[in-house]
């Protein structure tokens, strides 16, 4: 049986726009299992980033429950939420958010300073994480000397610094060209498969969403549809089109002859 690591019940979030209340999230309920890779999609203003901020303990709900490993973080004080963000969350942003005066290794080391006292241990782990995301030999480069795709790889390595329970990714491919988008999504999928990292990703990108296990569609602050992504079938060595057995190296299904990574609009029908 899957281990539920995030359970959200009847979540509401209301902002005040001047004197007018705006309902960003409305009686939203969802769960995430340990080791899942899910995408949250929806039009602008549907509540995607608000939901991610509530899950990441950056913002508090107006009411409802947000249970992380059975603990309701919605009722926690800020001094405890800080520790949860540091210890349980890794954040990846559209704009990378790397410090320009630090090199790649130093950017990855930064979140470790509150947890790992030894500088040599922080340096060693940062180098290992950069190697994991394909940046061996680029550790001493500052962000301005790295491509956009390389900067996002540094950001992913930084998100993994403290062995988080979750990676929360807000439009991680939004500032990348098509080639780098593919590489970043492949990297996230690989981390999910090999490290068992639970990933929750907000995206407008159908290609990115299709490479997750489960896709949730938000509208007006509610989840209105859910669909399986390609990654779930591939995890089970099944063709996402016809269900036939496939090998991890297959690009074309041997039975239905369709591309295994075929891209379609997740909610086109």
- Across the strands, what pairs with 144? none
Mean pLDDT of 191-211: 90
pLDDT exceeds cutoff 70 at 263? no
Output phi, psi for 79, to 5 deg.
-65, -25
Alpha helices in the chain (DSSP H): 48-55, 78-88, 104-109, 119-132, 148-159, 178-195, 206-210, 230-235
The model's pLDDT over 29-47, given as tens digits with 9 standing for 90+, comes to 999 999 999 999 999 889 9
Mean pLDDT of 157-181: 92
pLDDT for res 261? 64
pLDDT exceeds cutoff 80 at 60? yes
More confident site: 116 or 240 = 116
Output phi, psi for 67, to 5 deg.
-100, 115
Domains and CATH numbers, the chain: 4-235 (3.40.50.300)
pLDDT for res 255? 84
Cβ neighbours of residue 113 closer than 8 Å, sequence gap 6 or more: 122
pLDDT for res 225? 94
Q: How confident is the model at residue 216 (pLDDT cuts 50, 70, 90)?
A: very high
Sheet bearing 198-202, strands edge to edge: 89-93, 166-170, 198-202, 37-41, 214-219, 222-228
Distance CA 51, CA 61 (A): 9
pLDDT for res 266? 66
H or E segment and range at residue 27? strand 20-33
pLDDT for res 262? 56
186 and 37 Cβ atoms separated by less than 8 Å:
no
Q: How confident is the model at residue 232 (pLDDT cuts 50, 70, 90)?
A: confident
The model's pLDDT over 108-162, given as tens digits with 9 standing for 90+, comes to 999 998 888 899 999 999 999 999 999 999 999 999 999 999 999 999 999 999 9
Can you say how many angstroms the Cα of residue 195 is from the centroid of all Cα atoms in its chain? 14
pLDDT for res 248? 65
Mean pLDDT of 207-235: 88
Question: How far is the CA of 47 from the CAs of 32, 51, 187, 189, 214, in angstroms?
Answer: 18, 6, 26, 24, 18
């Amino acid at each position: 049986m899957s281990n539920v690591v995030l359970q959200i019940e009847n979540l509401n979030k209301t902002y005040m726009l001047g004197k007018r209340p705006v309902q960003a999230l409305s009686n939203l309920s969802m769960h995430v299992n340990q080791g899942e890779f899910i995408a949250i999609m929806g039009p602008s203003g549907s509540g995607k980033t608000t939901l991610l901020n509530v899950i990441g303990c950056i913002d508090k709900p107006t009411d409802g429950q947000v249970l992380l490993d059975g603990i309701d973080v919605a009722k926690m004080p800020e001094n405890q939420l800080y520790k949860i963000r540091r210890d349980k969350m890794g954040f990846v942003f559209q704009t990378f958010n790397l410090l320009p005066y630090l090199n790649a290794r130093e950017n990855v080391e930064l979140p470790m300073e509150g947890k790992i006292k030894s500088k040599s241990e922080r340096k060693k782990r940062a180098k290992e994480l950069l190697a994991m995301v394909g940046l061996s030999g680029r550790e001493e480069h500052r962000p301005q000397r790295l491509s956009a795709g390389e900067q996002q790889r540094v950001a992913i390595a930084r998100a993994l610094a403290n062995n988080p329970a979750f990676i929360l990714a807000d439009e991680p491919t939004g500032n990348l060209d098509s080639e780098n988008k593919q590489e970043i999504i492949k990297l996230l999928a690989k981390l999910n498969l090999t490290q068992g990292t639970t990933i929750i990703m907000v995206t407008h990108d159908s290609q990115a969403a299709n490479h997750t296990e489960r896709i949730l569609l938000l509208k007006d602050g509610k989840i209105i549809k859910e669909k399986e992504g390609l990654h779930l079938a591939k995890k089970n060595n099944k063709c996402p089109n016809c269900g036939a057995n496939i090998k991890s190296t297959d690009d074309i299904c041997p039975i239905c002859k369709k591309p295994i990574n075929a891209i379609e609009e997740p909610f086109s029908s």
